Amino acid sequence: MSTTQQLQDFVTQVRRDILRQVHQVNSGHPGGSLGCAEFFSVLYQEVMDYSTDFKMNGENEDLFFLSNGHISPVFYSVLARSGFFPVDELNTFRKIDSRLQGHPTTHEALPGIRIASGSLGQGLSVAIGAAAAKKLNNDDKLIYTLHGDGELQEGQNWEAIMYAAGNKVDNLIATVDYNKKQIDGATDDVLPLGSLKAKFEAFDWDVIELKEGNSCDAIKSALNEAKSRTGKGKPVVILMETEMGNGVDFMMGTHAWHGKAPSDEQLKTALEQNPETLGDY
């Protein structure tokens, strides 16, 4: 358990790591990464029960699957700072032969990564398999996932959403990064999602709405509420409203930083807004 200040310091350092990784190689996705810095920090620092002595089968521990893998900078930073691999390996992000590829992959064997991603829409299907395996093994730990909202435009999600409810996969907590934006603009302009709450409820999921998706306290409450609703015959989803680019003033309120690296000058400004707390890699 961290104090509020310790958790906020962790988040601030994660933001710096995101910005520095993407800037160094002039490539990557800072917007969604920054928007989910609080979620990953709370999940790995406060909520999940896991071992950093990484074993792929994940028996008797909570598991997390990232479906919208392009926000790898936040995932890598939080994994490193939670003890899965050395923090200075963040220096290798997106470089040839690095274990930290632009989209997470498994053949590099980076501790903490259990699925490759890149093509969107597949994470929930994998997570359902892992959730079913836990039930078969009488393993009472939980499966957590994260999905982009734009990613829900991929049809495979809805097959998985239907399957999970129909098969009572109730040891699964999916979270949607509901920032209403995707790489080409507002989700409403690209392909409207309508009411996600109504859609998930129509598919017989238990829905939790999280309006303050960039508040560590609110995220922690929502995840704890979700945990309390597992084991009751329904999969649980958290619709987490976030701000893309959160924590960097010029990256907020726009989709422009979905997949764009900051310049030297922009990095300097962004880092000034997020002073070093736990030590840069």
Task: Decide whether 104 or 148 has the Cβ nearer to Mg ion.
Answer: 148
Token pair belonging to 50: 């896991």
- Binding segment (CB under 5 A) for Mg ion, from list 55-63, 150-158, 162-170, 189-197: 150-158
- Site size for Mg ion, by CB under 5 A? 6
Among 30, 102, 148, 213, binds Mg ion (CB under 5 A): 148
Query: Minimum distance from CB of 132 to Mg ion (Å)?
Result: 28
Query: Minimum distance from CB of 154 to Mg ion (Å)?
Result: 13
Query: Minimum distance from CB of 36 to Mg ion (Å)?
Result: 10
Task: Decide whether 70 or 181 has the Cβ nearer to Mg ion.
Answer: 181
Query: Minimum distance from CB of 86 to Mg ion (Å)?
Result: 31
Q: What are phi and psi of 112, to 5 degrees?
A: 105, -15
- Binding segment (CB under 5 A) for Mg ion, from list 70-78, 79-87, 171-179, 221-229: 171-179
Q: How far apart are CA 120 and CA 273, in angstroms?
A: 32
Counting contacts by CB under 5 A, is residue 150 touching Mg ion?
yes
Longest Cα separation, the chain: 53
Task: Write each residue from 175 to 194 as x if it is in contact with Mg ion (CB under 5 A), else as -, in one continuous string.
Answer: ----x-xx------------
- Binding segment (CB under 5 A) for Mg ion, from list 53-61, 162-170, 173-181, 207-215: 173-181
Among 17, 149, 154, 241, binds Mg ion (CB under 5 A): 149
Task: Decide whether 34 or 142 has the Cβ nearer to Mg ion.
Answer: 34
Task: Decide whether 150 or 262 has the Cβ nearer to Mg ion.
Answer: 150
| Nearest C-alpha neighbor of 43 from the set 68, 73, 10, 90 | 10
- Binding segment (CB under 5 A) for Mg ion, from list 5-13, 140-148, 155-163, 225-233: 140-148
Task: Decide whether 33 or 182 has the Cβ nearer to Mg ion.
Answer: 182
Query: Residue numbers of the site for Mg ion (CB under 5 A)?
Result: 148-150, 179, 181-182
